[in-house]
Amino acid sequence: MGNSKSSAVSKEILEDLKLHTKFSETEITQWYENFKRQCPSGRLSKEEFQSIYSKFFPDSDGNTYAQHVFRSFDTNDDGTLDFKEYIIALHMTSTGKTTRKLEWAFSLFDVDKNGYITKSEVKEICTAIFKLIPKDEVPRLPSDENTAEKRAEKLWKFFDKGENERVAEGEFIQGVLDNEEALRLIQYQPPK
């Protein structure tokens, strides 16, 4: 316990992360140390993740969104985030190319992980995103975006699908790449 051997990132994980992300060995090693400090068990539970995540949204409710983000990061579905999942998530959401980010956004919207997005999944995620908007910002939103339902309707139209049709990953990414409005609606960005 607490010796240098147990706190070092394993060679296997390190090689894997160097291969799959653009992070350097130094960066990965530093993050691992931070990760271990915040999370000595090496696995982040959903509750721990939610409590860290919610701190980024002090003026709104980040809990529902955090649950979806956690689900999209937990690629092996075991209910915890290990270091590898955490770093790959960080790679996809913060430093990845747009396509990488959109692949992640797709997995965020694909609530049941079946490879397609339905309109009800769009509504579910739009509801979670809407909760991230601080209450005092809501009155300033355009009239076709001032409820979660309206945002879901607006976003769904960009994919050019019927009510009961579903959107595949490629269609989702293309729809968002082709429409800046769609790109804006799949996330919440605080006004500058």
Q: x/- string (CB under 5 A) for Ca ion, residues 105-124?
A: -----x-x-x-x--------
The answer to whether 41 contacts Ca ion (rule: CB under 5 A) is: no
The answer to whether 76 contacts Ca ion (rule: CB under 5 A) is: yes
CB of 59 to Ca ion, least distance (A): 30
d(CA 81, CA 138): 33
Return the residues of window 129-188 that contact Ca ion according to CB under 5 A: none
Return the residues of window 45-74 that contact Ca ion according to CB under 5 A: 74
d(CA 66, CA 60): 12
CB of 43 to Ca ion, least distance (A): 8
If the CB atoms of residues 121 and 145 are measured against Ca ion, the closer one turns out to be 121
CB of 182 to Ca ion, least distance (A): 18
Name the packing angle between helices 148-157 and 119-130 (round to 10°): 130
If the CB atoms of residues 53 and 61 are measured against Ca ion, the closer one turns out to be 53
Strand ranges (DSSP E) for 36-169? Answer: 43-45, 80-82, 116-117, 167-168
If the CB atoms of residues 112 and 160 are measured against Ca ion, the closer one turns out to be 112
CB of 60 to Ca ion, least distance (A): 26
Using CB under 5 A, list all residues that contact Ca ion: 74, 76, 78, 110, 112, 114, 116
